[in-house]
Structure 1
């Protein structure tokens, strides 16, 4: 079965209509989605009963529904959530049959608008239910979760008692600086920055927000886009800043304001392992530049202060979730592991594979088996986080 990725209008339009639709898509993307693409949405019912808690789970099953998808769905169900699975690809019949025992509803839609396009479609699908829900979570398959033995994120997010909770906060470094200055740069958290936001791969939303009519209006008016940076700015940054500016309570289950003191408290061997496992995909050439400006003999000859500054600067440049997975998992009890950092030809891959092996997670073999597929598995969701 040929799979339409949504980069061209679905429905096999003729040449003239296709050109008109492409123009419509580029000039009026929200209206294009609502008036045209919505015709190709398909809703199927699953076996999981409705609940006062709903988990919207966005997947991009280019290589089919995977064991780790089902692992995440079981986790949602065990914690009382009814999964609304959003597939940004048409599902094969056999994949739908696999999903239905683990879903309340399955929404198939064209791949348009990255993760926020999928979230928006699902929220509009259940908009009449929003005021009646106790909790709504937004999750996507850009990360493996939950990791065995780590925090129960769904429970801990609820326990914070806040209106809006993320698994990770980002954009909070006040001054990032240049690589050459990493040893002397002062690390400082500043949540007043315009780019401060919560990662869209895991968001938990409480009843105060769900009952606010302006919250639904924000989603209705969201100008979704096929542009990655526009999606990040309007969606990920935009939603967090809207919540903050409208006075809703917010927080994260992985607090990073104590980052400096946590790093200072760990022993040197643990610090070296954290640095060895760093990934720098979001910042071109950062790894090479950092290694070039440290001791040529390698990490073993770096002082403790250099290692600490190395780790702090890298996190400030690339974000903790994408840069320091071992540190987050081992020191902050983080239960998500981003897939994109395992893409082929990344110099840190060996250390990251060792991280999966060290976790001793029952899902480890499946995670390793999927490693070569991650650019396809999370193609849509991962580009916007």
Structure 2
């Protein structure tokens, strides 16, 4: 272990330890009720949102409406520093509860406070935990929810990862009744640390959540499992050798093929983004992939045209968010005048 990795390892440990110190501190600033259009439903969503401007963007409203249309009661949790009455009013039509809290513990802190606001778990059938790190649904979310409701699992996510240890990726998790009525579920969320260092969140919460529930006998699954995606990629690789394919794209494909063949793992929402949309009608695309492309994946500039051609989703909602909130490097080829259309 070199000094950089040793320092990083130490920071992860300190971040987790500090999170345990914070876990019993109250972080909620205010709470209010929404219109609760699905009052009486036994399906819930806790949706975690953060914006440095305090603004609720149209892509978030689109996701809320899509979840509401599926019959879910939504608890909207904002970690934004500024979250005023006008923003509360913006989300009220689709939400049962709106919570404003300090940005302590990031999404898992929001999940924790959202879960604790549910009074009675005895009648709940499903609970989805979702955050605003993804754009969509690009395709009807009901397709995936209905398919996974037929599976004999206690917890499912959209994608899973084998990086470090096996886990479901925490941008979208669904807990089913068998785990929701357990005392273990409530105790787990009551005790989680409020961690403010991203790598500590991944190691100490995202991975640990899956591992803890697995260790306690619960069944986990991904709607779009990692090895099904790598198998699809490896199976179609010979077909990718086309004279019209750019040499650097072929080089990347070969590098990935070698990578997978040796058992190395990658983030599926990044490396398989295009295949997920093309072949699997995957309902979301990661915001970080578009705005930062941390793994320098070739072809991300196609995202705008890909969404326009294959889905009914308005990519201008993504453009609007990127303009205000981030410094994206790869925009694709949007129209000169982008207009935002709400659902």
Same fold flag (TM > 0.5): yes
Question: Structure 1's 269 and 208: CA in aligned 2 closer, same or farther, altered over 3 A?
Answer: same
Give the CA deviation at 1:28: 5.5
Question: Structure 1's 344 and 166: CA in aligned 2 closer, same or farther, altered over 3 A?
Answer: closer
Kept after mapping to 1: 8 A contact 2:304/2:315: no
Q: CA RMSD in A?
A: 3.2
**1:54-87 per-position Cα deviation (integer Å, ceiling 9, x unaligned):** 1001111334111111111111111110010000
Residue 120 of structure 2: SS of its match in structure 1?
helix
Question: Structure 1's 362 and 270: CA in aligned 2 closer, same or farther, altered over 3 A?
Answer: farther
In the alignment, is residue 355 of structure 1 matched against residue 306 of structure 2?
yes
Question: Structure 1's 344 and 32: CA in aligned 2 closer, same or farther, altered over 3 A?
Answer: closer
In the alignment, is residue 226 of structure 1 matched against residue 214 of structure 2?
no
CA distance in 2, matches of 1:354, 1:110: 37
Task: Spell out the pairing of 1:189-228 with structure 2 (5 A cutoff).
Answer: 195-228=165-198
In the alignment, is residue 57 of structure 1 matched against residue 8 of structure 2?
no
Residue 122 of structure 2: SS of its match in structure 1?
helix
What residue is the counterpart of 1:103 in the other structure? 95
Kept after mapping to 2: 8 A contact 1:340/1:375: no
Question: Structure 1's 50 and 265: CA in aligned 2 closer, same or farther, altered over 3 A?
Answer: same
How many residues matched?
305
CA distance in 2, matches of 1:324, 1:94: 38
Question: Structure 1's 28 and 299: CA in aligned 2 closer, same or farther, altered over 3 A?
Answer: closer
What residue is the counterpart of 2:322 in the other structure? 371
The range that moved more, 222-231 or 28-37, is 28-37
Give the CA deviation at 1:222: 1.0
Q: TM-score scaled by structure 2?
A: 0.78
Residue 132 of structure 1: SS of its match in structure 2?
coil
CA distance in 2, matches of 1:84, 1:251: 24
**1:119-160 per-position Cα deviation (integer Å, ceiling 9, x unaligned):** 11111222x422321111100100012113676333333232
In the alignment, is residue 321 of structure 1 matched against residue 269 of structure 2?
yes
In the alignment, is residue 249 of structure 1 matched against residue 219 of structure 2?
yes
What residue is the counterpart of 1:134 in the other structure? 125
Kept after mapping to 1: 8 A contact 2:41/2:71: yes
Give the CA deviation at 1:100: 0.3
Residue 139 of structure 1: SS of its match in structure 2?
strand
Kept after mapping to 2: 8 A contact 1:163/1:250: yes
Q: TM-score scaled by structure 1?
A: 0.70
In the alignment, is residue 161 of structure 1 matched against residue 145 of structure 2?
no
What residue is the counterpart of 1:94 in the other structure? 86
CA distance in 1, matches of 2:167, 2:326: 24
Give the CA deviation at 1:249: 1.5
Question: Structure 1's 31 and 122: CA in aligned 2 closer, same or farther, altered over 3 A?
Answer: farther
Give the CA deviation at 1:345: 8.2
Kept after mapping to 1: 8 A contact 2:45/2:129: yes
Kept after mapping to 2: 8 A contact 1:271/1:308: no
Question: Structure 1's 319 and 26: CA in aligned 2 closer, same or farther, altered over 3 A?
Answer: closer
CA distance in 1, matches of 2:255, 2:239: 11
CA distance in 1, matches of 2:123, 2:236: 45
Kept after mapping to 2: 8 A contact 1:60/1:88: yes
- Could you tell me which runs of 5 or more consecutive residues in structure 1 were left unpaired when the two chains were aligned: 1-24, 173-193, 277-296, 377-385
Identify the match of residue 46 of structure 1 among 27, 30, 34: 34
CA distance in 2, matches of 1:270, 1:251: 30
